[in-house]
Structure 1
Amino acid sequence: MRHTPTYVLTDVDEVKRLIRENAWATIVSYTPDGLVASHYPFVLEEDAEGISLVSHVGRPDEKLHGLGEREVLVIIQGPHGYISPGWYEGVSFIPTWNHVTAHLYGTPEILSDEENFRVLDDLVDHFEKRMPDPVSLDIDETYARRIAKGTVGIRLRVTRFDARLKLSQDKPAHVMETVLGALESDGPYNSKPLAAEMRRAQERKTDSAAD
């Protein structure tokens, strides 16, 4: 990503929050046959030191990526959206795109069949807990274990990350409020999740200044 100091995110806790709230990620590997990309859900390991993620891939993606053999890039994409210069009140006529993004690097660890099943079980429970009548792999564990054999579990202990919060921080406060109003409206480029990220960034900036 372009290195713009204003937008660089170094707060590990904020990167973890981004992962929690945006589970669908892209895995990118550089292999002898060229670049390979796949898309899978990742869940943060809350009790791990540093940043650690678990997921699974469907066979034969583990061989396609050479998982466990080399470093991979996992891209977490949070809320993002078009920012019209019409919202800048004459300050600029150049549009932009606001976003919250993290690039995570590490060499995946291949999980045992038993740990992979546990991760799959936890993954289902993680997403089902919001449902009024959650389902679980426990409904038919024998069948679930048979299906699980078509997957390979991975753990990514993040060794470095590159994250950005590009949220109109460079604009005057009154312009940001106009942008927020547009994002929170019913207009063509509305995005309440992106607006929420912008307001969160504002609050963190205010809290930091107060300290």
Structure 2
Amino acid sequence: MRQNPSFTLASDEGVKRLVREHPWATMVSSTDAAGLVASHYPVLLDETAEGITLLTHVGRPDEVVHELGRHEVLVIVQGPHGYISPGWYDANPAVPTWNFVTAHLYGTPELLDAAENLRVLEALVDHFEDAMPEPRRMRGTAENGAYADRIAAGTVGLRIPITRFVAKNKMSQNKPAETVDRIIGELEGDGPYASPALAAEMRRTHEVLRAARS
């Protein structure tokens, strides 16, 4: 991903926030047997680790297809994104663009044993179920526990310590304040390219920029 100093997301904490808020990730491997392979799984941060470490799982036989543990993988996490019309700028000539926030994370997966895998699966379920009015747990009952054990056997848990990353937060930082406000207004409207999530991300980004300049 080509970097631009105006849009670089360089901090570990910024990338961690992206992962926490948008945990659906794409994992890409360059394999000896099949060339490029991509799969999609939810990821969590290992909040006890230094730096950035991802916890996830794959369904068998993806660990074989990806040749996991044998080489570095690329994990792509993407936040809000959307089309930005030049009609939202001003009367001057302009081209359309796309605002987005994304991170490319690199690391070699560590395959977990059965007990660790089960803990990761339980953590994933708990993370998403906690928001439900009546959360369902993997091992909430004896029956659930037996079922969870059977399902877990068909998965492989992963810990991926991230050794490097490239991240970009392109939110019209190179535009005047009045143009930014106009774009946010359009994104919050009811037009064909409205995106409240992208508008909120733009607001957050520009509030941070204004605070840094003051």
Could you state the TM-score of these two structures normalised by the residue count of structure 1? 0.97
How far the C-alpha of 1:3 sits from its partner, in A, is 1.7
- 2:6 match: secondary structure: helix
- Give the aligned residue type for 2:73: V
How far the C-alpha of 1:91 sits from its partner, in A, is 3.5
Instruction: Name the residue aligned to 2:30.
Output: 30
Instruction: Name the residue aligned to 1:166.
Output: 170
How far the C-alpha of 1:115 sits from its partner, in A, is 0.5
Matched residues, percent identical? Answer: 59
Instruction: Name the residue aligned to 2:211.
Output: 207
Q: 1:193 to 1:111 in 2, by over 3 A?
A: same
Instruction: Name the residue aligned to 2:54.
Output: 53
Give the distance between the partners of 1:59 and 1:14, measured in 2 at CA: 32
Give the distance between the partners of 1:165 and 1:67, measured in 2 at CA: 29
Instruction: Name the residue aligned to 2:21.
Output: 21
Instruction: Name the residue aligned to 1:81.
Output: 82
Instruction: Name the residue aligned to 2:105.
Output: 104
Give the distance between the partners of 2:105 and 2:195, measured in 1 at CA: 25
How far the C-alpha of 1:150 sits from its partner, in A, is 0.3
Give the distance between the partners of 1:192 and 1:114, measured in 2 at CA: 41
Give the distance between the partners of 1:91 and 1:20, measured in 2 at CA: 39
How far the C-alpha of 1:92 sits from its partner, in A, is 3.6
Instruction: Name the residue aligned to 1:178.
Output: 182
Give the distance between the partners of 1:40 and 1:82, measured in 2 at CA: 26
- 1:48 match: secondary structure: coil
Give the distance between the partners of 1:132 and 1:52, measured in 2 at CA: 30
How far the C-alpha of 1:22 sits from its partner, in A, is 0.4
- Give the aligned residue type for 1:160: R
Give the distance between the partners of 1:90 and 1:12, measured in 2 at CA: 39
How far the C-alpha of 1:46 sits from its partner, in A, is 1.3
Matched, 1:128 2:129: yes
Could you state the TM-score of these two structures normalised by the residue count of structure 2? 0.96
- 2:13 match: secondary structure: helix
Structure 2: 5+ residue stretches without partners? none
Matched, 1:6 2:1: no
Give the distance between the partners of 1:3 and 1:13, measured in 2 at CA: 19
Instruction: Name the residue aligned to 1:191.
Output: 195
How far the C-alpha of 1:93 sits from its partner, in A, is 2.8
Give the distance between the partners of 1:92 and 1:165, measured in 2 at CA: 24
Instruction: Name the residue aligned to 1:145.
Output: 149
RMSD between aligned alpha carbons? 0.8
Give the distance between the partners of 2:176 and 2:91, measured in 1 at CA: 12
Q: Which moved more, 1:96-105 or 1:137-146?
A: 137-146
- 1:162 match: secondary structure: strand
Give the distance between the partners of 2:153 and 2:137, measured in 1 at CA: 17
